[in-house]
Amino acid sequence: MLTDQNKAVIQRWFDAINKKDLFVCDKIADETYAFDFILHDPGFPKSAEPIPGPTGAKQFVRQLISNSPDVHLGIEDMIAEGDKVAFRFTVNSTDVTTGKQVSLLVISIIRFVDGKFAEEWELDVPGEW
């Protein structure tokens, strides 16, 4: 079933990030991000929007791991229908500048085209579930 395959792609991406294996993250980014991938996140100022596609995904992961070497992404729920997967997840890490624990709650919806991330809507807030 296509919805199960799309959910598995997201899980594989999160697993690679949690292992901090940049070689595997790069490979998965090339396989799973459409060249013209678009992220919609009101937390990003227009002047700092990420680079689209696999290049932007690779850049994001490197920055994430550099700023938070102990980062862990935990998927709490995942629901798929048609070409979209909606899921909520947590981001837990230690801020390298302050040494304090940081937790984010995130809701994300990813639209797939031909098995790749084409578009994502994301909203996050500090806190714990």
pLDDT digits (tens, 9 = 90+) for 99-125: 889 999 999 999 999 999 999 999 999
Both tokens of residue 45?
């100022």
- What pLDDT score was predicted for residue 47? 58
CATH of 2-126, one of 2.40.160.20, 3.40.50.720, 3.20.20.100, 3.10.450.50: 3.10.450.50
pTM over 0.85: yes
Per-residue pLDDT of the chain (129 residues; tens, 9 = 90+): 689 999 999 999 999 999 999 999 999 999 999 999 998 888 776 656 667 899 999 999 999 998 888 999 999 999 999 999 999 999 999 987 888 899 999 999 999 999 999 999 999 998 876
Q: Decide the pairing of beta strands 84-94 and 33-40.
A: unpaired
Rounded Cα distance, 69 and 63, in Å: 10
**Taking Cα atoms as reference points, which of 22, 1, 5 lies closest to residue 110?**
5
